[in-house]
A = this chain, B = another copy of it.
Amino acid sequence: MRIEILNTGTELLLGSTLNTHGHWMGQQLLHLGLRVQRQVTVPDGDAIEEALAEAVLRADAVIVTGGLGPTSDDLTREATAKVLGIEMIEDEHAVRELRSFFSARGYGRMPEANLKQALVPVGADVLPNPNGTAPGIYVPPRLGKASACAIFLLPGPPRELQPMFTAEVVPRLRALSGIEEAGEAIELKFVGIGESSFHEGIDEQLQRIAGLEYGYCARLGEVDLRLIGGPEAIAAGRVLVEKEFRRFLVSDDGAPLEKVVVEKMAAQGLTLATAESCTGGLIASRVTDVPGSSQIFTHGFVVYANQAKEDMLGVSADSLERFGAVSEEVCREMLAGALERSGADVAVAVTGIAGPGGGSEEKPVGLVYIGIERRGKDPLVLRKNYPGARDDFKWRVSQTALDQVRCLVG
């Protein structure tokens, strides 16, 4: 089933309002096994009619948002009637709903301008809006000139659109599409490899799996691979990528790295302490983004200054002097101090040069030592180099640090 979204509203194109409709609807439809084939944003005005006329020729269903208000630049209803080539009538029920909305909220008498919101193309359904004045409209297929395309008109504000989408749009799309044919989708999250790793063989093999659609989404130090299709196709694709990249696979439900770490440690009753210099608290903050992280996370030491490394973790002035703050030795002492002073089972420690300043010939910006230690076991300290912007550096260090914790606790 080919579904398109048409977002209307000048504010969406001027950068004053972030358009989250496509994102939210895409998630809802994916749960139904349905996919958005195209999303278009146009300003208020004639462009709506033009874009809608194009969409109904391509799509089986078009979901239009915005332009259902009472003001002169709310033209979605009119544009739809023109595209369909049918008249509009005032819907009695919609008028009553409008009047009761105003009286129920003590807004007093309804302004006459709002009557415009009760106009619907002949033969269309009115979709009730318990959260605002603008009723939605559903135009079933084969009404007017819209050929086989179904059209949904929904209000722009998310708090009005989202309940209406769930209550009115989803059931109709189910009926129109016949869900059992729809495919499933899983999202495999990999940390520690780049998108390019996938095209060295894997990519071609995935293409050969019948009925499998897939797509990558690469972020800093992270790749999400989405597999879409029938259960067999997805299973085959998963076997293929796991054979190659198993140790980089963090989750198969889109769960972020920090959530996986918290859940693994909680399941084993382990606690974590963080000792951060160059990441400045980012690792602790990511861990505490996860509900229930208080089960595993106790102490976070943000030792930005050398003095703090001595005060808070007992790093020796001598080591700071001899090896420098960014060194394997200091990283090891940070681990030892974090374990001793927190009593946690596992400690992670990072010290590096975030830049832009502070780099040198033998210790360039981007150099970082990432250490991990489990009580009673030997520490492991990695030396990495992540040049680039300061926030990118911090993020990549936190990725590697959290992934090391993930691997350590298994």
Contacts and interface: CB of A to CB of B under 8 A. Distances in A.
A71 B54 CA distance: 31
Interface in A205-242: 207, 213-220, 224, 226, 228
Contacts of A322: none
Contacts of A41: 22, 38-40
A304 B291 contact: no
Contacts of A214: 73
Contacts of A17: 23, 217
A244 interface: no
A342 interface: yes
Contacts of A281: 274, 276, 280-285, 288, 300, 302
A113 interface: yes
A404 interface: no
Q: Point out which of A9, A159, A288, A388 has the most chain B C-beta atoms below 10 A from its C-beta.
A: A288
A11 interface: yes
A269 interface: no
Contacts of A302: 274, 281, 284, 288, 299-302
Nearest to A304: B297
Given A280-B293, A390-B291, A14 B185 contact: yes
Given A312-B312, A394-B289, A23 B15 contact: yes
Contact of A305 (B70, B292, B299, B388): B299
A307 B298 contact: yes
A396 B287 CA distance: 18
Given A215-B43, A216-B69, A282-B285, A36 B13 contact: yes
Contact of A71 (B38, B105, B216): B216
B291 A280 contact: no
A13 B22 contact: yes
A141 B308 CA distance: 58
A219 B157 contact: yes
Nearest to A130: B388
A14 B215 contact: yes
Contacts of A197: 111
A341 interface: yes
A170 interface: no
A186 to B, nearest CB: 11
Interface stretch (A24-32, A76-84, A373-381): A24-32
A40 to B, nearest CB: 5
A392 B196 contact: no
Interface in A104-124: 104-106, 111, 113-114
Contacts of A358: 294
Interface string A233-255: 00000000000000000000010
Which of A71, A207, A302 is packed against the most chain B CB atoms within 10 Å? A302
A180 interface: no
A259 to B, nearest CB: 12
A19 interface: yes
A169 interface: no
A200 interface: yes
| 7 A-B pairs with least C-beta separation | A280-B288, A300-B302, A15-B26, A281-B281, A15-B27, A281-B284, A10-B215
Given A12-B26, A13-B36, A106-B385, 10 more contacts: A9-B217, A11-B215, A13-B22, A15-B217, A17-B217, A18-B20, A19-B23, A38-B41, A282-B285, A288-B304
Interface of A: 9-20, 22-30, 35-44, 47, 51, 54, 69-73, 104-106, 111, 113-114, 131, 133, 157, 159, 185, 187, 195-200, 203-204, 207, 213-220, 224, 226, 228, 254, 274, 276, 279-285, 287-289, 291-294, 297-305, 307-308, 311-312, 341-343, 354-358, 385-392, 394
